[in-house]
A and B are shown apart, each in its own frame.
Chain A
């Protein structure tokens, strides 16, 4: 132990672990939705590790990318496992992060004093989305290529857009330079995400976790809180086990469930697939993009639909955090969530006929929730008395 003390005096790792992983005071009433944060952190690690192994065998070149992915699937020992872990990991990561966000929205985790914690989280979401988008391009299948073409072309709506798009591509269409830089950025961004996650955690530990009752806890008298270890370490392990069971089911028994069959056809710039659809986790935002008849308006609405999360702490200024003690918000929360599923469904359909109208209505409702319903609730929703302790 002398060696540990010697090190700790100069580099306080032991103290850090003790303060932030062991004795760290945590509200004792956290339900299983509070497992999602740690699961998301583990998923980031799983994605980085599996991704590093894949990168050792992958070739970012338009003539070889598709074949190198099949080389990983067929010739590299355990390659199919790494690829399916990584591919399904993206979907599982998004499921976890979306649930994590839904939990924050329901229990008011973004409110005073946790606004910056929430904002760092939105930055993480943006970084994840960029990473996932570029990762999907790497196998160089039909959806990779055409998805990249559609999304990069969105930048053409801005003034001088044509030159922005060519700058992004590194040429006059999605081609080898595009694939190459997407690979580089896809490798880089996860490490930036790690940095963002660390900042997210620093913000979290400043005031500690919110809780299902949404009330401030008294960390001094010890009635409301318990030390993180062993209570939440073991609870997180259990939740992680359940999560990995579901994850493994997809990896081993339905590895292409979340994918598009078209992506097993090598990219061909001369053949456009009948329906270009993004991965499922982008579908609600894709629906918003296509619901606006104006191209610039569509792009702004799509970016705005995610960026609006940045200002949620100021749109919802109701003094009560948890929906449990907000009789109106508790009800109005669910149409918002269902509306997201409707948007996702519409995003997977061709933008014509009835789907166009459903999509436009759902887009309108999405923004109405943030810009009309939340501010009105600030003003009119009754403020109930909150419980005194946990």
Chain B
């Protein structure tokens, strides 16, 4: 029986490998600080990642699920967040006279995206809306590894593949033809204030880590609660087990 099952499983896994390989290049594994049962976000990396998002990605992509004040979770102080928010202009209203008005951003505001609405986004991006990045790490197979790979996966198209003017070649994108232009063209595209060397790989990794936080801001709480829960359950289950043994010892 076991041999039979093993043979079937082996056969299926060979089929899987074949099917996956002609679909997409395997994504390189990155060792993330937030991997594993007790992984945490590195605050300095997330702050660098936010800088990359702000200076590079945010020209086309929004993170509409994040409010300024939530940046305090990655180590910005309340005055820093307040100042950051105030550097944005927010359309608000109508006021009591019925007019729309522009005011400085507040920490409780959603971080504004690059476009007023989807139609504006389409009109400047060949008819497509650049995806919001709030959940991008959860919304792609391969998660953070895939996002980093995609950001650094641009290359010249192999011989025989022609691209339209609006297309770029990316070895990790499902059919390799991606509308997004390469976000990083040279090292030191951003200037990190903490002295970290801003290589393309470093910038991609930092912004991916930041986006992983945006996708799962609850992750650290979740893993900590998980550890406590599993410990409690393990202890209770052991007690139940020994109680069960004692109660059942006379049953023949």
By a beta-carbon cutoff of 8 Å, the part of chain A in contact with chain B is 28, 70, 73-74, 80-81, 84, 226, 230-231, 234-235, 237-238, 241-242, 244-245, 248-249, 251-253, 255-256, 261-262, 264-265, 274, 334-335, 338, 341-342, 345, 349, 354-355
Whether B218 and A234, one on each chain, are in contact in the complex, defined by CB atoms closer than 8 angstroms, is no
Whether A234 and B8, one on each chain, are in contact in the complex, defined by CB atoms closer than 8 angstroms, is no
**Which of B65, B134, B222, B241 is A238 in contact with, Cβ under 8 Å?**
B241
* A-B contact sample (6 more), CB < 8 A, given A74-B65, A241-B236, A264-B138: A73-B218, A238-B237, A241-B240, A244-B237, A248-B230, A264-B135
Residues of B within 8 A of A335 (CB): 4
**Nearest-neighbor residue (CB-CB) of A234 within chain B:** B244
Whether B4 and A338, one on each chain, are in contact in the complex, defined by CB atoms closer than 8 angstroms, is yes
The 5 closest A-B pairs by CB, nearest first: A252-B226, A241-B237, A264-B139, A238-B240, A80-B218
Measured in the bound complex, the distance between the Cα atoms of B135 and A74 in whole Å is 12
Whether A253 and B5, one on each chain, are in contact in the complex, defined by CB atoms closer than 8 angstroms, is no
Whether A252 and B225, one on each chain, are in contact in the complex, defined by CB atoms closer than 8 angstroms, is yes
Residues of A within 8 A of B12 (CB): 342, 345
- B248 beta carbon closer than 8 Å to chain A: yes
Query: What would be 10 A-B contacts, judged by CB atoms less than 8 Å apart?
Result: A70-B135, A234-B248, A242-B237, A244-B237, A245-B230, A251-B226, A256-B138, A261-B139, A274-B174, A334-B4
Whether A262 and B233, one on each chain, are in contact in the complex, defined by CB atoms closer than 8 angstroms, is no
- B141 beta carbon closer than 8 Å to chain A: yes
**Which of A248, A256, A261, A349 is B233 in contact with, Cβ under 8 Å?**
A248
**Which of B134, B138, B221, B229 is A261 in contact with, Cβ under 8 Å?**
B138
Residues of A within 8 A of B138 (CB): 256, 261, 264
Known interface pairs A248-B229, A253-B223, A253-B226. Does A349 touch B217 (Cβ–Cβ under 8 Å)? no
Residues of B within 8 A of A255 (CB): 222
Most buried by B among A237, A274, A335, A341: A237
Whether A248 and B226, one on each chain, are in contact in the complex, defined by CB atoms closer than 8 angstroms, is yes
**Which of B8, B223, B251 is A231 in contact with, Cβ under 8 Å?**
B251
Whether B15 and A354, one on each chain, are in contact in the complex, defined by CB atoms closer than 8 angstroms, is yes
The minimal Cβ–Cβ distance linking A74 to chain B, given in whole angstroms, is 6
- B17 beta carbon closer than 8 Å to chain A: no
Residues of A within 8 A of B100 (CB): none
**Nearest-neighbor residue (CB-CB) of B222 within chain A:** A252
By a beta-carbon cutoff of 8 Å, the part of chain B in contact with chain A is 1, 4-5, 8, 12, 15, 19, 37, 65, 131, 134-135, 138-141, 143, 174, 215, 217-218, 221-223, 225-227, 229-230, 233-234, 236-237, 240-241, 243-244, 247-248, 251
The minimal Cβ–Cβ distance linking A212 to chain B, given in whole angstroms, is 15
Measured in the bound complex, the distance between the Cα atoms of B174 and A274 in whole Å is 10
Measured in the bound complex, the distance between the Cα atoms of B223 and A248 in whole Å is 11
Whether A262 and B139, one on each chain, are in contact in the complex, defined by CB atoms closer than 8 angstroms, is yes
Residues of B within 8 A of A245 (CB): 230, 233-234, 237
Measured in the bound complex, the distance between the Cα atoms of B222 and A244 in whole Å is 16
Residues of A within 8 A of B4 (CB): 334-335, 338
Measured in the bound complex, the distance between the Cα atoms of B4 and A230 in whole Å is 41
The minimal Cβ–Cβ distance linking A112 to chain B, given in whole angstroms, is 28
Known interface pairs A80-B222, A231-B251. Does A252 touch B229 (Cβ–Cβ under 8 Å)? yes
Whether B222 and A234, one on each chain, are in contact in the complex, defined by CB atoms closer than 8 angstroms, is no
Residues of A within 8 A of B226 (CB): 248-249, 251-253
Residues of B within 8 A of A274 (CB): 174
Known interface pairs A251-B226, A342-B8. Does A334 touch B1 (Cβ–Cβ under 8 Å)? yes
**Nearest-neighbor residue (CB-CB) of A223 within chain B:** B252
**Nearest-neighbor residue (CB-CB) of A230 within chain B:** B247
Whether A74 and B247, one on each chain, are in contact in the complex, defined by CB atoms closer than 8 angstroms, is no
Residues of A within 8 A of B139 (CB): 261-262, 264-265
Whether A238 and B244, one on each chain, are in contact in the complex, defined by CB atoms closer than 8 angstroms, is yes
Residues of B within 8 A of A345 (CB): 12
Residues of A within 8 A of B37 (CB): 253
Known interface pairs A234-B240, A265-B139. Does A349 touch B229 (Cβ–Cβ under 8 Å)? no
The minimal Cβ–Cβ distance linking B114 to chain A, given in whole angstroms, is 18
The minimal Cβ–Cβ distance linking B39 to chain A, given in whole angstroms, is 10
Known interface pairs A241-B240, A261-B139, A338-B8. Does A349 touch B19 (Cβ–Cβ under 8 Å)? yes
**Nearest-neighbor residue (CB-CB) of A80 within chain B:** B218
Measured in the bound complex, the distance between the Cα atoms of B141 and A244 in whole Å is 27
